[in-house]
Amino acid sequence: MKKDGKEVKIGKSIFCFKLENVMNDRNISKNKLSQDTNTDYKVVTRYLNGEIQKLDLFVIERFCNYLDCDLSDIIELKKRA
């Protein structure tokens, strides 16, 4: 990936949201991802910006299947030093 993605610090960890990287690599817009996965546009935006409070496994499953990627390609958990 070209960059790490949007980082969100929670406790002793950092969640790195890399959905935008995968979408850019595949030349897929937010609107197209939203329409093709039947996911609300606002939800797609929250995943892109790392603004979600709870991970929705159904949404993640749709993204991974549509983008033909693994969970770790779109969300990564890092330990803080």
pLDDT interval class at 1 (50, 70, 90): very low
- What domains appear along the chain, each with residue ranges and CATH number? 6-79 (1.10.260.40)
* 66 vs 11: which has the higher pLDDT: 66
Measure the CA–CA gap between 2 and 51, rounded to whole angstroms.
21
Residue linked to tokens 């093709």: 36
pLDDT tens digits for range 25-75: 999 999 999 999 999 999 999 999 999 889 999 999 999 999 999 999 999
* Strand, helix or coil for residue 62: helix
Is the pTM for the entire model greater than 0.85? Answer: yes
Measure the CA–CA gap between 3 and 25, rounded to whole angstroms.
12
pLDDT interval class at 5 (50, 70, 90): confident
Measure the CA–CA gap between 12 and 74, rounded to whole angstroms.
20
pLDDT attached to residue 80: 76
